[in-house]
Structure 1
């Protein structure tokens, strides 16, 4: 594994993760109805830090392997969608719009898992926590959208 590749992928992850600082949940999110199984707030940064380290490791393991084009394409897609979800959900407050992004994010993470696994077992295993977390996040996004049908998206004309 090339350590420089690892740090490049990690920088991409933390770039995507920076949307969380730009669009924090805040009081608006706290007022939403949420299911009882919603993870506590402290779990999110712990999980995302762990996931970003693992998926950077996975990408660095497969990036230089022959036949890694699809794995890297899925990796690029998932990190772009990862960065997009937060501004749509927290920034624009578009719960259903974020759910659409979540579906494509989940599919790209599944694609990452499959293609990384095909190239390197350890890289594939490193993608499993991400697939699990995005599955939970997808169900949470759907549940929150259903529990809050009257949430108004942010009116950008007033910003």
Structure 2
């Protein structure tokens, strides 16, 4: 299981690297953001926890026969996760970012169901991710709505 975990963690690290390359910066600070926006320090803490816990969940699932769909959904969600940061923070495409995040939410919800079908603990480990993405979706929506001229 350790090898699987390290592989899934490497995929997650690639997604996390986009946050290092495409930082929010002055552009983001200049946007109108909703009052429920968490402090900036919360984002790297939350994402670090989520990447590690979902990599562990995927590693648990990988050990079971019949996990192909669950692991395919992991691949889809990590690809979409990797795409969101350069779209939103790099290209400043708020609406397209909302589309990517919506597809990511659907992929993670499907992955969560697939993980639950294979391993209860793996499914439970995905719940914080879907909750965080729900908050991220609300934030993305409000930033997009409140900054249509940018």
Cα deviations by residue, 1:25-48 (Å, 9 ceiling, x for unpaired): 000000000000001000000000
How far residue 64 of structure 1 moved from its aligned partner, in angstroms, is: 2.4
Show the counterpart of 1:155: none
TM-score if structure 2 supplies the norm length?
A: 0.99
Deviations 1:100-154 (A, max 9, x none): 1011100000011100011100000000010000111011100100010101xxx
TM-score normalized by the length of structure 1: 0.93
Aligned twin of 2:122? 123
Match of 1:18 in 2: 17
The count of aligned residue pairs is 150
Q: Deviations over 1:73-121 (max 9, x none)?
A: 1100000000000000000000000011011100000011100011100
Cα distance between partner residues in 2 of 1:56 and 1:106: 17
CA RMSD of aligned residues (A): 0.5
> How many angstroms apart in 2 are the aligned matches of 1:110 and 1:72?
13
Residue 112, structure 1, aligned to residue 103, structure 2: no
Cα distance in structure 1, aligned partners of 2:70 and 2:93: 30
Query: Which stretches in structure 2 are left out of the alignment for 5+ residues?
Result: none
The residue that corresponds to 1:157 in the other structure is: none
Distance in 2 between the 1:92 and 1:144 partners? Answer: 15
- The structure that has the greater radius of gyration is 1
Cα shift at 1:67: 1.1
Aligned pairs (5 A) from 1:19-38: 19-38=18-37
**Correspondence list, 1:1-159, <5 A:** 2-151=1-150
Provide the rounded CA distance (Å) in 2 between the counterparts of 1:38 and 1:45: 14
